[in-house]
Structure 1
Amino acid sequence: MPRRALVFITALVLALHWLVLSGVPLAWDSPAQPSRQVFSTRSIAPSPPPPTVAPPGVTAVPVAAPQPAPRKKAPSPKRPPAPAAQDRPEPAPTAAPVAETEAPADTGAATTVASATPEAPANDAAPAPAPAASAPAAPAEPATEDTQTGTGVDIRPPGGTGRSAGAPPPPVRMPAPTRLAFDVNGQAKKFAYSARAELLWQQIGNRYEARQEISAFLVGTRTQRSVGTVTEQGLLPEKFSDKSRSEQAAHFDYAKGRVTFSANTPDAAAGPGVQDRLSLFIQLGAMLAADPGQFVPGTQITLTTVSARSADRWTFTVEGPETLDLPAGPTPALKLLRLPRKDYDQKAELWVAPGLGYLPVRIKLTQANGDFADLLLRASSPP
């Protein structure tokens, strides 16, 4: 094969792999909010008629506009004598004034433009415009825990309405140190791809480290790392980093109750039970391991999750037990589901295995545009 053709093919393969790896929808990614398209309209007044130009030699004489003839005042009828107070009729009720309402806030949808009506003749009095019947705005959704940050861990039983605001996180049972190897199948920017991933969980005393790497041929790796301490209520992250071509990180300052970001994005609140996008999977499994009977199908678990750029509330619903056919073999697991709350949110499906200390054995993440990554356990071993 000619050397020039070989170099071209190699460059093409590298470009495709870079495109795939940069578009893999991993759990810790923070998809950017789509920019809103706003359609605005304006009214343009008709241009004034051109001035009349007099022919040469003729002096233009301004003509005064004809004044309407004065209207004759109709003779006022003679007023009858005022009736006595007891004979006076009740005055007719007047219509209550209609308060003008502000236009509903822009929701990002296209604006419907009404067709213009023809102007009334100049010599006729213009009728008073009827109030426009605006479409009723959709009622605002009530604020939920998902829209708040730093408000602790909320565990709701099926059909429950109460919430454990301010309550400490539930007890946990941490898994043994383990190395998990995954096969990755997915789609990014309409390209199907295969990759390898590894999740390493280590605990030494009250210190922990979780690290996950995903690698693609000829491209390299993308690494996420979470370090911190282990308490009776589980993981207390101190730093979460995401490194591909460059590194971004989130730093947890519990003394000030804040999370700061190296990307110079706004700080977030660091409340009880806050997790990052990697420690989250370990924490959920540790909560389930401590008290499996509390998390029956339909139970919802809400907690604050922090990426390398921002924080949000994530709610997982316990779906129920399943037996997965994985590359590692048939594996009994418990499924948890996080449905997207906004148009650009990820759908996250998580399967944890009781036989592995409720560590994740399958993670499937789906983007709003259809791209997905499906991590399937291939093998597990001590670190």
Structure 2
Amino acid sequence: MASSLAFNAPAKAVETQVLTPFTAKYKVSKGRLNLGSAKRQLSQIGENRFTFSYFSDLSLLILSDHRRETSELIIEQNQKVKPLRYLFKREGTGSDKSTTLEFTNGQVLDVEADRPIDVAKDIQWYDEVSYQLQLKLDLAAGKQEMQYYLVNHKKRDKLYHFKVVAEELLEVPAGKIETVKLQRIRDDSSDRVTEFWLAPKLGYLLVRIRQERGGSEVADAQLEQYVFNPL
């Protein structure tokens, strides 16, 4: 009982800054179909040192997909994310997959293969989780458009481009929450749309993420519960 009551604590009860540790749970759907659940978690493990994690447990008919991604990182001057180590593990229908990356001295190391990935050394590289924390910090700093270079779990380099497009009062299972809406900017030939809603008053906590392809919804994750755990 005490655990459930801890969720959805009023924002005034804690100092909800971007780096306030939290756990957030999401309901994932596709139209009227319930696909499963997801969780995001930020934990502080030392001075200016954090882990940022994503977990998902999804299924559709006989297909299943279970994922865990964790980025160990440091924060410089409370505004710059520096990833150190990224772990990805996927299980379910089809082949299981795992990836471990290390970020050091401007290089990204493929730990399984024990060799560096061929990427430019003069660029700040992120993984698929750490860039999301940098995005929150950049929004808190007032930025309206952001770009991030990252190496994904397939060990491929990517450029992600985001832009703030609106402010919306959003109603999700966790309640009515004031948000800023972002859209991922892709080239004109792409038929994919990815939209994010984040809550400024909750340390830019992710409230909703929605994806569609070719005009059809692929997935919609909406915030169900959240709790902040200030040290």
Q: What's the TM-score bracket when you normalise by the shorter of the two chains?
A: 0.7 to 0.9
Match of 1:260 in 2: 109
- AA at the equivalent of 2:187: R
Indicate how the Cα distance of structure 1 residues 224 and 379 shifts in structure 2: closer, same or farther if over 3 A, else same: same
Match of 2:134 in 1: 283
Match of 1:358 in 2: 204
1:216, CA displacement in angstroms? 3.2
Match of 1:209 in 2: 51
Greater relative CO (CA pairs within 8 A, separation 6+):
2
Match of 1:310 in 2: 156
Q: The residue matched to 1:324 in structure 2 has which SS? A: strand
1:1-383 matched pairs, under 5 angstroms: 174-186=18-30, 192-203=33-44, 204-216=46-58, 219=64, 221-232=66-77, 233-244=79-90, 245-253=96-104, 255=105, 257-262=106-111, 266-271=117-122, 273-289=124-140, 291-292=141-142, 295=143, 299-308=144-153, 309-341=155-187, 343=189, 346-367=192-213, 370=216, 372-382=218-228
Please list the CA deviations of residues 124-157 of structure 1 after superposition, one character each: whole Å capped at 9, or x if unmatched. Answer: xxxxxxxxxxxxxxxxxxxxxxxxxxxxxxxxxx
1:275, CA displacement in angstroms? 2.1
Indicate how the Cα distance of structure 1 residues 311 and 220 shifts in structure 2: closer, same or farther if over 3 A, else same: closer
In the alignment, the residues of structure 1 paired with residue 188 and residue 100 of structure 2 have an alpha-carbon distance, to the nearest angstrom, of 24
Larger proportion of strand:
2
- AA at the equivalent of 1:200: Q
Q: Is the 8 A contact 2:192 2:213 kept in 1?
A: yes
Q: Which structure has the larger Rg over C-alpha atoms? A: 1
In the alignment, the residues of structure 1 paired with residue 50 and residue 149 of structure 2 have an alpha-carbon distance, to the nearest angstrom, of 19
Q: Gaps (5+ residues) in structure 1? A: 1-172
In the alignment, the residues of structure 2 paired with residue 225 and residue 337 of structure 1 have an alpha-carbon distance, to the nearest angstrom, of 24
Indicate how the Cα distance of structure 1 residues 216 and 338 shifts in structure 2: closer, same or farther if over 3 A, else same: closer
Indicate how the Cα distance of structure 1 residues 365 and 262 shifts in structure 2: closer, same or farther if over 3 A, else same: farther
Q: Is the 8 A contact 1:181 1:198 kept in 2?
A: yes
In the alignment, the residues of structure 2 paired with residue 280 and residue 350 of structure 1 have an alpha-carbon distance, to the nearest angstrom, of 14
- AA at the equivalent of 2:24: L
Please list the CA deviations of residues 278-334 of structure 1 after superposition, one character each: whole Å capped at 9, or x if unmatched. Answer: 122221111222x33xx3xxx421121221211222111111211111110111001
1:339, CA displacement in angstroms? 2.6
Q: Is the 8 A contact 1:339 1:346 kept in 2?
A: no
1:198, CA displacement in angstroms? 0.4
Matched length:
200
1:205, CA displacement in angstroms? 1.7
Q: Is the 8 A contact 2:24 2:39 kept in 1?
A: yes
Between the aligned residues of both structures, percent identity stands at 24
Q: Gaps (5+ residues) in structure 2? A: 1-16, 91-95
Q: TM-score of the superposition, structure 2-length normalised?
A: 0.75
In the alignment, the residues of structure 2 paired with residue 280 and residue 234 of structure 1 have an alpha-carbon distance, to the nearest angstrom, of 10
- AA at the equivalent of 1:261: D
Root-mean-square deviation (Å) = 2.8
